[in-house]
Amino acid sequence: MKIIIHGGFFSESDQSHEVKVAKQNSLKEIASKSFDFLKNHSAEETVVFAVKLLEDDELYNAGTGSQIQSDGKIRMSASLMNGETQKFSGVINIENVKNPIDVAKILMKEDDRVLGGNGAKIYAEANGIHDFSTEIPQRRKEYEEKIKNGGKGTVGCVALDKNGKLAAATSTGGKGFEIVGRISDSATVAGNYANEHCAVSCTGVGEDIVSNATAAKIVTRVTDGISLEDAVQKTFVELKKIDGFAGAIAIDKDGNIAHQDSHPTMVFASFDGTDFEVFN
């Protein structure tokens, strides 16, 4: 069993040492709780569990604490992929729900598994997920002052369960001040992808991640027999050619873990029941 989570990026120039320590402690705690959950649950259930904890933490740009778009509203996106069943579900630009990943989870049972905007909100309401404001004062202050700080970042989780099954989940509050209707990578296979061989979750600039097909490319390469380390490295070499800003976390079917960023520092934590690795 293995688990790795991410919470976007950290910038020494834009964030304090106290914020860095808070994120390190938060990620370590969430990774530990999620690993304990993984002991008795599937990889799919666990990545949802972990991403919900990340969505509920105001330190990250997903769920509570999401960025505000150019018209003053919060729109969030999230997706889930089960490596065994090859099913992908997601919501794009959904408003006023506490945990977008919960809506993605419910959508797994549908034939139509990716919903956007008002349709996603109507579906959420019909399935018992009611209005909830994810705005926090700090995000409103940033919006009103038109500040883009280094604290924002997509969240995600990749897990390998005791049965050798993989899953990935990713959630974001967007990049802040974007054009209304802009779609991130988080609810696409470029940002979140898994099969029986490998699972990947990405963070960073969505346009760069989509242009590079980052998550799907890594998984495809591992499926074709390339080692996880080499698959990640080759994919990030290609990302560099477009000066792409991204980070990725990944686990393969053998339990190998990888994490990579193109513009340090991606915040992440991994745990295997014995050893933690946390960004520094």
User: Taking 60 as the threshold, does the pLDDT of residue 226 lie above it?
Assistant: yes
Beta strands in 13-141 (DSSP E): 76-82, 87-94, 114-116
Which amino acid, 34?
S
Q: Nearest 5 degrees, angle CA 174-CA 27-CA 162?
A: 105
Strand-pair partners of 171 = 78, 155
Known binding residues are 182-185, 203-206
pLDDT in tens, 97-117: 999 999 999 999 999 999 999
What mean pLDDT comes out for the span 254-263?
Answer: 97
Which amino acid, 66?
S
CA 103 to chain centre: 15
**Which sequence positions are flagged as catalytic?**
154
How would residue 148 be classed by pLDDT, with cut points 50, 70 and 90?
Answer: very low
Q: In the chain, pLDDT over 90 holds for what percent of residues? A: 88
User: Taking 60 as the threshold, does the pLDDT of residue 151 lie above it?
Assistant: no
The crossing angle, in degrees rounded to 10, of helices 43-55 and 100-107 is: 160
Query: CATH number, domain at 102?
Result: 3.60.20.30
Domain count, the chain: 1
Known binding residues for substrate are 182-185, 203-206
Range of the domain at 154: 2-278
Q: Which of 211, 263, 219, 267 is nearest to 238 (CA)?
A: 211
